[in-house]
């Protein structure tokens, strides 16, 4: 499957909108828009973003409470949205956070899903380890997927220009997110 500008957006939502879990203690939702400020996302992207738009995705089939925040850049005046592009061609950053009921062992499932997607040719870039202060983190070609304690997250930056410039942007935001994730219950 060829990668398009829709890939980070589509994959984040595909992973977060899995069927609801049955009869399992539901972990708390984490507000993803509280993990980054509008100014931080704007600085990383090099463009002013609109306030983050949160979405509560609910509990996945694996029992994780999944939430998403989307920060988008407005199209320039007079530019019509392109219906073939994610968000009409607007640049954006998207953060998906999953709080897992089984702690760190469950949080590994999120990162494993990217490894499996590569093996199944669903994504074209082989996930590689990156250092963002998490227990484990991967760059998968369109974003950073990471886990810390019982929480996993994916941050993707989609902007015009050089695709290689997306990696340092996503990594810089991931480092901030890791510092702000809730501490595990004692």
What is the pLDDT confidence band of residue 165, given thresholds at 50, 70 and 90? confident
Question: Across residues 72-87, what is the average pLDDT?
Answer: 90
What is the pLDDT confidence band of residue 185, given thresholds at 50, 70 and 90? low
Selection from 85, 145, 68 nearest residue 110 by Cα:
145
Query: What are the backbone dihedrals phi and psi of residue 4, each rounded to the nearest 5 degrees, phi first?
Result: -130, 180
What is the pLDDT confidence band of residue 8, given thresholds at 50, 70 and 90? low
Selection from 178, 174, 1 nearest residue 94 by Cα:
174
Greater pLDDT, 21 or 111: 111
Question: Across residues 9-20, what is the average pLDDT?
Answer: 47
Residue 67 above 50 pLDDT? yes
What's the CA gap between 3 and 69, in Å, rounded?
22
Q: Which two tokens stand for residue 46?
A: 């090099």
Q: Could you tell me the pTM of the whole model?
A: 0.85
What pLDDT sits at residue 7? 53
Instruction: Tell me if 179 sits within 8 A of 134, measured CB to CB.
Output: no
Q: Where are the domains of the chain?
A: 7-16+25-75+84-159+176-180
């Amino acid at each position: 499957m060829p990668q398009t500008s829709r890939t980070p957006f589509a994959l984040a939502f595909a992973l977060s909108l899995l069927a609801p879990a049955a009869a399992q203690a539901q972990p708390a939702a984490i507000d993803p828009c509280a993990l980054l400020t509008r100014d931080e996302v704007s600085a990383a992207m090099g463009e002013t973003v609109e306030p983050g738009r949160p979405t509560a995705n609910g509990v996945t089939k694996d029992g994780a409470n999944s939430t998403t925040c989307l920060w988008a850049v407005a199209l320039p005046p007079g530019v019509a949205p392109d219906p073939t592009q994610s968000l009409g061609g607007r640049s954006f950053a998207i953060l998906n956070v999953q709080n897992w009921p089984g702690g760190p062992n469950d949080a590994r499932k999120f990162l494993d899903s990217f490894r499996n997607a590569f093996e199944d040719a669903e994504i074209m870039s082989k996930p590689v380890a990156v250092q963002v202060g998490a227990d484990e983190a991967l760059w998968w070609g369109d974003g950073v997927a990471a886990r810390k304690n019982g929480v996993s997250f994916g941050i993707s930056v989609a902007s015009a220009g050089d695709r290689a410039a997306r990696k340092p942007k996503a990594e810089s935001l991931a480092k901030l997110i890791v510092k702000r994730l809730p501490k595990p219950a004692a």
